[in-house]
Amino acid sequence: MNLRIKCLLGFFLLVLYCSSLLAQTGVPFNQRDDQYRLLGLKRAKEAFEYAHKEYNRKKELFEQNLISELDLSRSRNSFADAEVNYQQSLLAVLFEGQYVTVVEAIKYQKENGRKHVRLKLANTSGGDAEFKKLVNIDDELFRSLQPDIINDVYVSLLNAENTIISLPYEAKIEQLKYGHPVTLDFALLQDLDAVTVNLVYGSGSTRSPKILLQKDATVNKVIVDSEQFSQEVELGGSASFDLTLELFSGETNTFKLEVVNLPAQINRFFKDPGSEARLSQFKFTESADTRRAALQVYLPDRPTKEVLIDKPISFYVLVIPREQAAEIGNTRQRRWSQAEIEALNVGYVKLDLVPRGVGKLLVRAQQLFYSIKPDETVFMNIELINEGSRRLNNVEIEADPPLNWTKNIEPAIVPVLKVSEEKRIGLSFTPPADVAVGRYEVRIRTSSLSDDLPISGEDKTVTIEIRPETNILGTAIIILLIIGLVLGIVVYGIRLSRR
């Protein structure tokens, strides 16, 4: 009997030893566990549960003095290793399943005119319910890891060149919980319709989806902007204001363009920059909610009561829904205040136009050809006329005569030449004593300043012919000889007729 009991006890101790070895080694490593992490998690969970049960059983045997403290310590170490492996597998699956998605990205404009993007992000990994269903996990360890929360989500907006165009440059979400989306607001440093949302979260996971921004349709208007909102234009000239039109409406897609507070003396019309066709109304399509247009204005040649030199003219471009345009009526019949325009709740942009006058120097000369003797002087006049819309300052007259010729200009400088004023200038040119017979040219140049801008008149070229000196005695002798010859012929002819 004692021998049988000893054999059974030895067999039991052998089973305990083998169980201890199995608990220490755990489940053999499978190379596919890294590839199929969910299966690896299941294997690690089973090994953890087995090691836990084995450790509890060893504790009972140790309390009954059936095993040594060394065996209990080995079982405790095996249980700790299995727990760590289980936690690592669980974390690997959780991090692999984390996913941040962009729910919506809405572009809108604030009252100060700055463009913003309202970005809504959500945690769609669903770890809390999904993983418990797949691996049947429902313990404190799983809950303590917070599988339904993604920590440290960093968000920024990029352009096509991967440059950050958002302000703040990078926003951080401390925790993004499943079922609780978070909305961020970014100011756009570059006005774009499509951006890349750069996401970094969890243990270093990244996503960079490129998205087309939605427009805030709640305002039901077209936002108008112009880079060249203030221009200086010369009287008699024209200017073009570029306009960018963005649709923020879900109700209307056809709009009318109007200009208010612009004097009637200034002609204006809208045109398409591409086709140069004139526009009065335009329509947005489903594929394009941003359009471009241009306002062309033409100033009168002369100042008027409403168009004064250097006095800015402020006016507005309105983009009115077609249905509302009929209710407003003719917008050009009166002046509009900004408060009245804002009360219309339509898209508008304020523009400035500064008429500038410019002087125009006209040079007139009655005669540009002179024939003189070597000892004579050419005297001539030219007239300077300001045909522009601004006075001319420091009108200077210069002449380039041939070498060794003497010139005299009176006056050589005209301090001021007002609009439409005329001024006569006297010039004289004297050849040197040894001048040769022939033709010579003198170029007359005029220059001035108008509002610190250089203004030049048309150059004039004067041609001077030098005639040779006349020999009076020789000429008289020749004339007498001719007369004598003629008389001789006549006398001889009379004598012949009498015979």
CATH number at residue 155: 2.60.40.150
Decide if 445 contacts 453 (C-beta within 8 A). no
396 and 346 part of one domain: no
Residue 495 lies in a domain: no
Host H or E run for residue 319:
strand 313-321
Helices (H), 262-409: 322-328, 338-343
Based on the fold, state whether residues 226 and 165 are members of the same structural domain.
no
Q: What is the pLDDT along the chain (499 residues), one digit of tens a residue?
A: 444 444 434 433 433 344 444 344 444 444 445 545 556 667 777 788 888 888 888 888 888 888 888 888 888 888 888 777 777 766 665 555 578 889 999 888 887 778 899 999 998 775 545 455 545 555 555 555 556 778 889 999 999 999 999 999 999 999 888 788 999 999 999 888 899 999 998 777 888 999 988 887 677 788 888 888 889 888 888 999 999 888 887 666 788 899 999 998 999 999 988 888 888 888 887 667 788 899 999 999 888 888 888 899 999 999 988 888 888 888 888 888 989 888 888 889 999 999 988 888 999 999 999 999 888 999 999 999 998 888 899 999 999 999 999 999 999 999 999 988 999 999 999 999 888 999 999 999 999 998 888 999 999 999 999 988 766 676 778 888 888 888 888 877 787 777 6
Is there a domain that residue 488 lies in? no
**Is residue 289 one of the residues assigned to a domain?**
yes
Residue written as token pair 């909305």: 183
Token pair, residue 109, equals 């404009």
- Do 45 and 160 sit in the same domain of this protein? no
Same domain, 233 and 352: yes
* Same domain flag for 250 and 341: yes
Boundary (domain end) residue, out of 97, 128, 151: 97
Both 318 and 287 in one domain: the answer is: yes
The answer to the question of residue 483 being in a domain is: no
Residue 477 resides in a domain: no
Q: Do 411 and 453 belong together in one domain?
A: yes
Q: Select from 67, 97, 127 the last residue of a domain.
A: 97
- Tell me, yes or no, whether 314 and 382 share the same domain: no
Q: Does residue 184 share a domain with residue 77?
A: no
CB contact at 8 A, 408 and 381: no
The residue type at 345: N
Question: Are 351 and 226 part of one and the same domain?
Answer: yes
Please indicate, yes or no, if residue 482 is contained in any of the structural domains.
no
What residue numbers bound the domain in which 203 lies?
102-215
Report the residue count for the chain: 499
| Domain-terminating residue out of 97, 117, 137 | 97
Question: How many structural domains compose the chain?
Answer: 4
Tokens of 300: 């009168």
CATH code of the domain covering residue 237? 2.60.40.10
Asked, for residue 471, whether it belongs to a domain, the answer is no
3-class DSSP state for residue 478? helix
| Closest among 369, 362, 470 to 420, alpha carbons compared | 362
Same domain, 73 and 134: no
Q: Are residues 156 and 272 in the same domain?
A: no
Tell me how far apart the alpha carbons of residues 137 and 149 are, in angstroms, rounded to a whole number.
17
Q: Domain for residue 481, yes or no?
A: no
